Amino acid sequence: MFIINLASTDPFFNLAVDEYLLKNRKEEFLVLGINIPSVIIGKHQAPHRETETGYITRNNIPVIRRISGGGTVFHDKGNLNFSFISNSTPGKQIDFRKYTQPVIQFLATEGVEAKFEGKNDLKVNGLKISGNAEHVWRNRVLHHGTLLFDSQLEIMKRSIRKDNSCYFSRAVVSNPSPVTNLKDWLDSIKNTYELKQKMLQFFISQNDKNQEVDLSRDETAEINNLADLKYRTWEWNFGYGPSYQFKNKFEINGISMTVNLSVKDGIIQECTIEGPCVLAEYAKKFSGLRHMPEDISSIFREGKVIMNDDELFNFF
Which pLDDT tens digits describe the chain residue by residue (316 residues)? 999 999 999 999 999 999 999 999 999 999 999 999 999 999 999 999 999 999 999 999 999 999 999 999 999 999 999 999 999 877 778 888 899 999 999 999 999 999 999 888 999 999 999 999 999 999 999 999 999 999 999 999 999 999 999 999 999 988 888 999 999 998 889 999 999 999 999 999 999 999 999 999 999 999 999 999 999 999 999 999 899 999 999 987 777 889 999 999 999 999 998 876 667 777 888 999 999 999 999 988 887 677 788 889 999 9
In order of start, what are the domains of the chain with their CATH numbers?
Answer: 2-237 (3.30.930.10), 244-315 (3.30.390.50)
The secondary structure of the chain, three-state, reads CEEEECCCCCHHHHHHHHHHHHHHCCCCEEEEECCCCEEEECCCCCHHHHECHHHHHHCCCCEEECCCCCCCEEECCCEEEEEEEEECCCCCCCCHHHHHHHHHHHHHHCCCCCEEECCCEEEECCEEEEEEEEEEECCEEEEEEEEECCCCHHHHHHHECCCCCCEECCCCCCCCCCECCHHHCCCCCCCHHHHHHHHHHHHHHHCCCCEEECCCHHHHHHHHHHHHHHHCCHHHHHHCCCCEEEEEEEEECCEEEEEEEEEECCEEEEEEEECCHHHHCCHHHHCCCECCHHHHHHHHHHCCCCCCHHHHHHHC
pTM assigned to the model: 0.94
